[in-house]
Structures are given as structure tokens and as C-alpha cells.
Amino acid sequence: MHYVFLGIAFVVLVYFYVLYAALIKKRNKLKEASADVDVQLKKRYDLIPNILNMAAKFMEHEKSLFSEIVNLRTQALRQNFATHPSERMEIENMLEDRLKSFWLNVENYPDLKSNQTMVQAMQTFGEVEEHIAAARRFYNAAVADLKNAVEIFPSSMVAAIVGVKADQPFFTAPDAAKERIDAKDFFK
């Protein structure tokens, strides 16, 4: 009889260990995904000064936009995404919005738009943006995985015992991107 209880206890222990190991793996995967987001965002920050320098000669009337971008870049560089995800997401959304305005304004400067170095910079920037989008998707998948494990029984029990939390936010599209566009506005 003793052996039966010991056997059951052993199986239960192994089961809990498997749940614990899976939970820790998911938490580490999220850390990896957060670090990847940082790496990809860093590529964007490295490109911004080069692009602004190139554009400054042509876009003299957009100084305020330039300084906004530079300020947001400096703010973003102060914090790490892995430790301050919510704050960084907010800054990133603002920076993205400003960068979008910048690229729209580039359209008004045909000389700049057709400049070969600028064309190359645009291509590189496009590629970096795709990498950022991929890193965000990886991060969101890792957050969803960990949230599921932390919130669904029986791994939720193990998470509560060992203190694993899933309070990291998801990357979402900025509110401006969700706004409804009225086609009539384009024909005014």
C-alpha cells in the first residue's frame, strides 16, 4: 500500500515539475522576445539620425517635426523595453506616428525622394520596420503563451505557488491607426 502512495506521489511530483518547467520556459521565452524587440528597435534608432541628416538639407521647414523625432528617440533610448514595456510602447507609438508624418512630408520634396541615398535609406528603413513587426509578433505570441499558462488551471496553480506573473502588455496598434477613415475627406 505504501508503494502505491509513493508511486502516486512520485507521478504527481513529476507532473508538477513538468508544469513548472513549461512555465519557466515560457517566461524565459518572453524575456527573449522582449530582448529581441529591443534589438530590432535599436536598428530603427540607429537609422533615424542618418535619415534626418540626409533630409535636413531639403526639408528646412520641418524643423519642429525633426526635433520631435529626435526627442522621442532620446526618450526611448533611456529605457529598456524588457523592463519598461508599457512606457516604451507609448513612446514607440508616438515615434511611429511622427515618423509616418516625416515620410509623408518626404513626398512633398521630389528631389529628396529621388535621391539615390534616400531611396536606399527608405529600403533599409522598410526592412527594419518589417523586422520590428516580426519581433512584435514574436513578443505577442510569447505574452499570449505565458498568459494562458498563468491563467489556465492546473498551471495557474503552479504559477501562483512559484510567483510567476504575466502582467506584460500586448503590442497593439496605436489609436490613430484604428480611427475610421472617411473616404469623403479625400475628395473635398
Partner 1 sequence: MRDNNPYLELRENFDRFWVSTLQPFLKTKEDMRKKYVSRFWFLILLSFFVLPMLAIGIYMLNTHFSKDIDTGYFYMLCVGAVFIFQMPYKSYKKKIKNDVMPKFVSFFEGFSYEQGKGLTISEMEESHIFPPADEYDADDCFSGFWQGVPLKISEQILKTVRHEKNKTEKQVVFQGIVVNFEMNKKFKGQTIVLKDSGFLNRFKGFKGFERVTLEDPVFEKLFEVYGTNQVEARFLLSPVFMERVVKLKDLYKGKSIQLYFSNNKVLIAIDTKQDMFEPYCFFKTNLNKQKIDLVFEEFITIFSIIDLLNIVQKNTL
Q: Is 40 in the site for partner 1 (CB under 8 A)?
A: yes
* CA nearest neighbour of 143 among 36, 21, 9: 36
* CA nearest neighbour of 109 among 54, 153, 162: 54
**Looking at 54-62, 74-82, 138-146, 156-164, which segment touches partner 1 (CB under 8 A)?**
138-146
Cβ-based burial of 140 (10 A; exposed 0-12, middle 13-18, buried ≥19)? middle
Nearest approach in angstroms of CB 36 to partner 1 is: 5
**Hey, which residues between 90 and 119 contact partner 1 (CB under 8 A)?**
103, 119
Number of shown-chain residues binding partner 1 (CB under 8 A): 22
144: left (phi over 0), alpha (psi -120 to 50) or beta: alpha
Q: Is 36 in the site for partner 1 (CB under 8 A)?
A: yes
Query: Rounded to an integer, what distance in angstroms lies between the CA atom of residue 80 and that of residue 86?
Result: 11
Measured from the CB atom, the residue of 79 and 113 that comes closer to partner 1 is 113
**Looking at 28-36, 73-81, 87-95, 177-185, which segment touches partner 1 (CB under 8 A)?**
28-36
Query: Rounded to an integer, what distance in angstroms lies between the CA atom of residue 186 and that of residue 114?
Result: 25
Among 122, 147, 156, 174, binds partner 1 (CB under 8 A): 122
Query: Rounded to an integer, what distance in angstroms lies between the CA atom of residue 121 and that of residue 22?
Result: 42
Nearest approach in angstroms of CB 158 to partner 1 is: 21
Binding site for partner 1 (CB under 8 A): 32-33, 36, 40, 103, 119, 122-123, 125-127, 129-131, 133-135, 137-138, 140-141, 145
